[in-house]
């Protein structure tokens, strides 16, 4: 594996800024991949600022590629999408600051409701009808109404007619990342039970949605009327069963290089000790060291191998092969993303860090500039 280091002429005072470039064509490719796996509608979930890639850029690309819905965390995120000109239906769930019922109605945002308390408050606040998706706990105990409390939620929904309109039923798959339909069977059964109770209560038709990226790609039984694609939009399949297109490229400049003798301690606490004469380069990727956690070091060359190790920085060309010296200051390194060569992917960084790709892409700080290809 190589990290692309493209020579660039630079002055001491001005270098290539660390930049995360979002690739809309990759987002579209991932939507098309999901479309090939399902006949259900597709919701593009762009919470966490489009998984760090820019909510508007990702949403616009996804809708253009065929996503018919958008998903967000709260009504404020939905407002930004509406202001960008996106008119497709939007669902907001989690709503950590509560729900502004009037704004939800104004912005035409559906609200997910997972408890009698939430629904009671929404009914009390609504001046105009608010469209709701009843959220069933299908086996995660991390949101949604347990099935034995479902009758109370339906009773409240009936009493609130005129203020709330039940248009959907949703849940989450607790074990979809295993990529095994048998692991999802209990959740699918519970979803069917919840849906049937809603229909018996006189609501309908309702849009039923249970699967996120992994379920959409691996288990048709979970698809119902719609699938929700979040991390998959930017190239992450949590089940690791499908290779999706990386939707961003992170580049940064080499800001310092040194020729280290064998036995040189590298990084905080001497986490790595060189075993040979080594060119070391520091890449100014713009993310605070503290937030990198165990993203430690990759050994790389302009035309050789790259591998994770301990320490901080990039191990440049071996002096035995490149006697002219280390990587020049201002050389642009591709931290991850497609760049015409064997470059580390987001999944590689997550594995080296003992983390998950979602954390990598959403943890890139504000000092990294954003652009759209």
Percent share of the chain, pLDDT over 90: 68
Confidence of residue 291 (pLDDT cuts 50, 70, 90): very low
Q: Is residue 123 part of a domain?
A: yes
How far apart CA 210 and CA 218 sit, in angstroms, is 13
The reply to whether 181 falls in a domain is yes
- Give residue 31's pLDDT: 98
Bigger pLDDT: 366 or 99?
A: 99
Predicted confidence band at 254 (pLDDT cuts at 50, 70, 90)?
A: confident
358 and 229 co-located in one domain: no
What pLDDT score was predicted for residue 326? 67
| Residues 16, 154 within the same domain | no
Task: Answer with the one of 171, 202, 234 that is the final residue of a domain.
Answer: 234
Residue pLDDT, tens place only, 2-32: 444 544 454 445 888 999 999 999 999 999 9
Q: How far is CA 195 from CA 7, 12, 130, 332, 353, in A?
A: 59, 64, 20, 53, 41
Cis peptide before 294 (omega within 30 of 0): no
Task: Give 345-367 pLDDT, tens digit per residue.
Answer: 899 888 888 889 999 999 998 89
Answer whether residue 54 is part of any domain: yes
Separation CA 276–CA 264 (nearest Å): 9
Q: What is the CATH number of the domain that holds 250?
A: 2.40.37.10
- We report the CATH number of the domain holding residue 117 as 3.20.20.10
* Model pLDDT, residue 314: 54
How much is the average pLDDT of 87-99? 96
Shared domain for 263 and 214, answered yes or no, is no
Domain housing 280: 5-20+246-372
In this structure, what is the dihedral angle of CA atoms 162, 164, 169, 175, given to the nearest 10 degrees?
A: -170
Please name the residues in contact with 185: beta carbons below 8 A apart, sequence gap of 6 or more.
221
Separation CA 307–CA 94 (nearest Å):
39
Higher-confidence position of 256 and 182: 182
Same domain, 336 and 360: yes
Task: Pick the catalytic residue from 33, 47, 297, 299.
Answer: 47
**Is the model more confident about 317 or about 112?**
112
What value does the mean pLDDT take over residues 258-271? 87
Mean pLDDT confidence for 212-240: 97
Residues 206 and 302 in one domain: no
Tell whether 104 and 170 lie within a shared domain: yes
Q: Is the pLDDT of residue 235 over 80?
A: yes
Least confident of 155-159, 234-238, 262-266, 295-299: 295-299
- 267 catalytic, yes or no? no
Number of H helices, E strands in the chain: 12, 19
113-124, pLDDT tens digit by residue?
999 999 999 999
Residues 14 and 40 in one domain: no
Catalytic annotation, pick one of 158, 256, 268, 276: 268
Total domains, the chain: 2
Please indicate, yes or no, if residue 358 is contained in any of the structural domains.
yes
In terms of domains, do 57 and 204 share one? yes
- 265 and 284 fall within a common domain: yes
Pull the structure tokens for residue 26. Answer: 């990759």
Q: What is the mean pLDDT of the chain?
A: 87
Boundary-marking domain end, from 180, 206, 234: 234
Q: Are residues 79 and 57 in the same domain?
A: yes
Residue 321 is assigned to a structural domain of this protein: yes
189 and 273 share a domain?
Answer: no
**Residue 352: inside a domain, yes or no?**
yes
- Out of 187, 203, 234, a domain closes at 234
155/257 same-domain check = no
Is 351 inside any structural domain? yes
The whole-number pLDDT of residue 343 equals 82
Q: Does 241 fall in a domain?
A: no
Mark whether 92 is an active-site residue: no
């Amino acid at each position: 594996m190589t990290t692309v280091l493209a020579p660039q002429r630079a002055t001491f005072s001005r270098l290539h800024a660390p930049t995360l470039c979002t690739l809309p064509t990759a987002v579209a490719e991932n939507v098309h991949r999901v479309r090939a796996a399902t006949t259900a509608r597709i919701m593009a979930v762009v919470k966490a600022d489009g998984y760090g890639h820019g909510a508007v850029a990702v949403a616009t690309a996804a809708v253009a590629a065929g996503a018919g819905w958008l998903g967000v965390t709260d009504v404020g995120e939905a407002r930004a999408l509406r202001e960008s000109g996106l008119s497709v239906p939007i669902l907001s769930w989690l709503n950590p600051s509560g729900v502004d019922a009037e704004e939800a109605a104004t912005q035409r945002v559906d609200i997910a409701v997972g408890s009698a308390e939430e629904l009671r408050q929404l009914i009390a606040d609504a001046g105009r009808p608010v469209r709701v998706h009843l959220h069933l706990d299908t086996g995660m105990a991390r949101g949604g109404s347990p099935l034995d409390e479902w009758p109370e939620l339906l009773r409240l929904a009936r009493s609130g007619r005129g203020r709330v309109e039940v248009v959907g039923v949703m849940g989450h798959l607790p074990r979809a990342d295993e990529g095994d339909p048998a692991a999802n069977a209990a959740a699918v059964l519970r979803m069917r039970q919840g849906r049937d109770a809603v229909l018996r209560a006189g609501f309908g038709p309702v849009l039923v949605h249970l699967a996120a990226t992994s379920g959409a790609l691996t288990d048709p039984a979970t698809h119902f009327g719609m699938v929700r694609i979040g991390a998959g939009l930017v190239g992450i399949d949590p089940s690791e069963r499908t290779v999706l297109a990386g939707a961003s490229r992170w580049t940064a400049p080499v800001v310092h290089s040194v020729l280290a003798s064998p036995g040189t301690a590298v990084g905080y606490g001497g986490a790595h000790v060189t075993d040979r004469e080594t060119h070391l380069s520091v890449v100014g990727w713009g993310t605070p060291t503290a937030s990198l956690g165990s993203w430690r070091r990759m050994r790389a060359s302009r035309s050789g191998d790259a591998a994770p190790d301990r320490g901080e920085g990039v191990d440049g060309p071996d002096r035995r092969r490149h006697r002219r010296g280390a990587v020049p200051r201002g050389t642009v390194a591709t931290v991850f993303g497609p760049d015409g060569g064997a470059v580390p992917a987001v999944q590689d960084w997550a594995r080296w860090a003992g983390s998950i790709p979602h954390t990598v892409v959403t943890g890139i700080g504000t000092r990294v500039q954003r652009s759209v290809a």
